[in-house]
Amino acid sequence: MTDPVRILGFVNHIAPSADIEAQIEQAFAWGVDVVVAQGTGSDWGPYWLGSGQQVAANQAANVEPYVRAALAHGVPFVFSLGIAGADVHLEECLRGFDALCARNGWAPRIGVLSGEVSRDYLAGRIAGGAVVEPASAGSGHARLTEADVHEAVRIVALVGPEPVMALLEQSVDGVLTGRALDIGLFMALPMLRGLPTAVAAVAGKLLECGGLALEPGDSGRAIWAQLDETGVEVRSCSPDARATVRSIVSHTFYERGHPTREENPGGVLDLSAATYRETELGVRCEGAAWHPAPYTVLLEGARREGFRAVSLLAVREPALLAQARSWARSAEEQVCRAARFAPEVAAGRLRIHTRIMGLDAVLGELEPHDGVTGHEAGVLIDVVAATEELAREACYYAFIRMFIGPYPGRKTTAGNAAAPIMPVVVPVSEVFQFSIYHLLPLDDPLGPFAATVTTFPRQGGIPTMGGDHEAR
C-alpha cells in the first residue's frame, strides 16, 4: 500500500490573500508533503513570449510565505515561474528568488529547469525526421518546418512531470521551472511516490489554479489535497471558502476542449467515469482513468508581426449608433483603398480591424443580435503594420474618417463621436503571434530540458538550452 501524498497548492503569479499565513498553517496542520504552484501560461497571448518582457515578475514575493513554511517543515516546493516561461523570464524571476533567499538568510539547494527550446535543437529534430504536428486540427497551423522554427523569436516547451521527478530524486529543497505543464508540476511527487498516474493527473487538474476551484473562487487562496491509490480529497485552507461538488466539477472543465478528456504528455486523462462526493471537510474524487499515448510536449513559439496602434471613440448619437457597423466597415474600407495604404494592405504589411463595444466586440460577425440594445457604444480601432509609423498613420486616417466623416442622417459636421483619451492615436507595442503551437514527440521526456542543481543565492545564471540535460 502506497502512502498518501498531501499537496499544498496555489498560483504564484497572483498576490496571495491577506490571511495566507493562516491558510498555510492550516494546510500544515493537516500535513503537507510538497508545496506546488504554477506560474506560467499562454493565457496572456504571444506578446510576452516574443518580446521577452515580463507581465508579472514579482513572483518571488508571492511565494515567500510558502517557501518559508516549506523550508521550516523540510518539504520540497515545485514552482513554474515567468508566465511566458522562456529563459529570459525565468532568469528575471530567479534573480528575485536570489534576493529573497539573501534577505531571509536561506541557502536552499534548488533544481532549475529551463522550459526554452533552442531553434537549433528543434530544427535538428525536424531535419532528422521528427514529425511535429499542430496541437489542434482547427489551429490554422501546418506541420512544423525548419523555416517556421527559425522565424520564431523564442520557443518554449511545456515541461512534463518526469524532469521534475528527476530533480526531486536528488533530494533538492525545491524545483523551479520555466514554462511547464500546469498539472505536471502537481503530478511529479505523487508519481515518484508510486501513486497511479490517473490520481496524480486529476489532482493536478483540480489544484492547478489554486483557490479558483473553491466556492467562492479566488486564485489568491491556497488549496490542499490528499492523494491515495484510489482518488483525491480536496479542501479549502480558508474558512471563507469551501470545496463543493459543484465548484470542483466545474473546474474539471477548465481550459478543456472535451468535457471529460484531456490530452497530456504520455497519455489522456479520462474523467468520464469520475465520481465526486462531499466529505466532512471537502470533496473526494474517484474513478479517473489514464490511457497511455505516445509522449509529446506542447511547443509554443512567437513570431514578430509588426507594430500596433489603437484609437478609441465613444458613440451616443442615435442615428449614428443605429448604423455603427456599416460606419465602422466604411472606415476600414477607406483605409484599405487609400492611395497611401492600399499597396501596404496588398503586401500584407497593414491590417485594420474595428471592434464595437456594446454591439459585437466579442463575437464579431457571429453575433446573433443585429439590433442596437444600448444607448451608447465604444469603438476600438486596431491597426497592425510593418512599422510603428505606418500603424500610427493608418490608425489616425481611420480615426478621422470616423470622427468627422459623413453618414446618412448626420445633422452636423462638428464631430460624430467623442474621443475619451489623448492622444487620439496610441502606439501600443510590437505585435507577435503564436506561429508555433505544435506537439513535439519525445523518446526521452527529459531530452530537451536543461537542468541544473545549485544553491541559492546563486553566483551565475541559468544554463543555455542545447538539448542536453546537465542534471538527471
Q: Return the closest-CA partner of residue 79 out of 94, 99, 100.
A: 94
Cβ-based burial of 53 (10 A; exposed 0-12, middle 13-18, buried ≥19): middle
Map out the domains of the chain as residue ranges.
5-115+158-295+442-455, 304-433
Type of residue numbered 223? I
Type of residue numbered 8? L
**3-state SS, residue 226:** strand
330 membership: H or E segment, kind and range:
helix 324-337
Type of residue numbered 355? R
- d(C-alpha 435, C-alpha 432), whole Å: 9
SS3 string, 390-409, reads HHHHHHHHHHHHHHHCCCCC
Half-sphere exposure of 159 (CA within 13 A, CB side): 37
Q: H helices within 146-196, ranges in order?
A: 146-151, 161-168, 182-192
**3-state SS, residue 442:** coil
**3-state SS, residue 318:** helix
Question: Contact, 206 vs 232, CB < 8 A?
Answer: yes
Taking each helix axis from N to C end, the angle separating 20-30 and 59-73, rounded to the nearest 10 degrees, works out to 30
The grid coordinates of residue 379 equal: 469603438
- Whole-model pTM: value is 0.91
Q: Return the closest-CA partner of residue 277 out of 267, 287, 292.
A: 287
* 425 to 305, 344, 418: CA distances (angstroms): 20, 19, 13
Q: Return the closest-CA partner of residue 135 out of 472, 470, 440.
A: 440
Taking phi first (over 0 means left), then psi (-120 to 50 degrees means alpha), and beta for anything else, what does residue 430 get? beta
DSSP for 45-63 reads -SHHHHH---S--THHHHH
Q: What is the pLDDT along the chain (472 residues), one digit of tens a residue?
A: 899 999 999 999 999 999 999 999 999 999 999 999 999 999 889 999 999 998 776 788 999 999 999 999 999 999 999 999 999 999 999 999 999 999 999 999 999 999 999 999 999 999 999 999 999 876 677 999 999 999 999 999 999 999 999 999 999 999 999 999 999 999 999 999 999 999 999 999 999 999 999 999 999 999 999 999 999 999 999 999 999 999 999 999 887 788 899 999 999 999 999 999 999 999 999 999 999 999 999 999 999 999 999 999 999 999 999 999 999 999 999 999 999 999 999 999 999 999 999 888 888 888 888 777 789 999 999 999 999 999 999 999 999 999 998 889 888 888 889 999 999 999 999 999 999 999 999 999 999 999 999 999 998 655 544 444 443 3
Q: H helices within 146-289, ranges in order?
A: 146-151, 161-168, 182-192, 197-207, 245-252
Instruction: Identify the CATH number of the domain defined by range 304-433.
Output: 3.30.70
**3-state SS, residue 102:** helix
Q: Return the closest-CA partner of residue 221 out of 40, 66, 57.
A: 66
